[in-house]
Amino acid sequence: MTQLDGSARAMKKIGFLSFGHWTASPQSGTRSASDVLLQSIDLAVAAEQLGADGAYFRVHHFARQLSSPFPLLAAVGARTSRIEIGTGVIDMRYENPLYMAEDAGSADLIAGGRLQLGISRGSPEQVIEGWRYFGYQPQEGETDAEMGRRHALALLDVLRGEGFAAPNPRPMFANPPGLLRIEPYSEGLRERIWWGAASDATAIWAAEQGMNLQSSTLKQDETGEAFHIQQARQIRAYRAAWAKAGHARTPRVSVSRSIFPLMNDTDRAYFGRGGREGDQIGDIDNMRAVFGRSYADVPERLVEQLRGDEAIAEADTLLLTVPNQLGVDYNAHVIESVLTHVAPALGWR
């Protein structure tokens, strides 16, 4: 397999990632679940018109955020024609893999094969062991993280499209010969599954399973180095494991960043104090994590700052985390500012 060299990775797919927050506060542009769902569709349409490459949505349960991705993904797919649509990420501890395969297949067919499905074990949730309320529990001797990975492997298995269920000898409708598979089946979706990895080990595991890699704005602090350096090392470990596994295709890798070009007085009012200059360290789910910096500056200085981000350089896809509560128009402005004033200077466009 031919690995991408540094110059090939300079060109990037650039999309947005929305957490889909809403609150009844009068300062929020999304005051209800209806607001955030409808505005998410509108932002995806606007991003496609601006030339962006992806519209991705975070999934959280028991929270005033986006939680049921497939109706939203199907609606975005029906309203757009080119932009990739995806998640970053779906918590597999909460999922029935077979039902999920049906939903994902339907959304992908509506979108014409543009679904990029990010899945993972998930992050800390709003309630204790929330997956139990959804009817799932680890098997004996299994952790909840292992349960999430087991659900992921089951999803990957059924997405191969091979029959596995014995047909009824007297069915209501005629069956094709042989064992039956999950329907609707969308060709190629198996190769558009991404794993959100917080550690080097889970990134390597994702490569072994043939999944693309999503690396977010935090990761397990494994060496004490700067976030972007650890993340770049994780990406290189992932690619090495992919090559060792002998997969036929070239994998994709995304990273997420908060990037705000200061173009006008509104930008300066929201983000004019600058981005978070350094990494932060914190504990999340009993894991020591390093959180990457955010970037906010005039385009010329942003270009120089981003040029030094090793993980962005390693990735082929960049997801811009957007402050969705500031509304569709403002977030479209942020996306356009990055695409127009930052990306070309860095060779991403």
Cβ contacts of residue 240 below 8 Å, gap of 6+? none
Q: CA–CA separation, 59 vs 103, rounded Å?
A: 15
The Cα-based distances of 67 to 102, 228, 326 in angstroms read 17, 29, 20
Residue 291 pairs in a beta bridge with 218, 280
Cβ contacts of residue 143 below 8 Å, gap of 6+? none
Q: CA–CA separation, 261 vs 162, rounded Å?
A: 48
Q: CA–CA separation, 147 vs 131, rounded Å?
A: 10
Whether the model clears a pTM of 0.85, i.e. scores above it, the answer is: yes
DSSP classification of residue 311 = H
pLDDT by 10s per residue, the chain, length 349:
334 444 456 889 999 999 999 999 999 999 999 999 999 999 999 999 999 999 999 999 999 999 999 999 999 999 999 999 999 999 999 999 999 999 999 999 999 999 999 999 987 788 999 999 999 999 999 999 999 999 999 999 999 999 999 999 999 999 999 999 999 999 999 999 999 999 999 999 999 999 999 998 889 899 999 999 999 999 999 999 999 999 999 999 999 999 999 999 999 999 998 656 688 888 877 788 888 889 999 999 999 999 999 999 999 999 999 999 999 999 999 999 999 999 999 999 9
Phi, psi values for residue 317, rounded to 5°: -135, 135
Torsion over CA: 215, 210, 193, 92 (sign):
negative
Angle between helices 69-79 and 33-50 (to 10 degrees): 40
E strand or H helix at 83, and its extent? none
E strand or H helix at 140, and its extent? none
Angle between helices 69-79 and 97-110 (to 10 degrees): 10
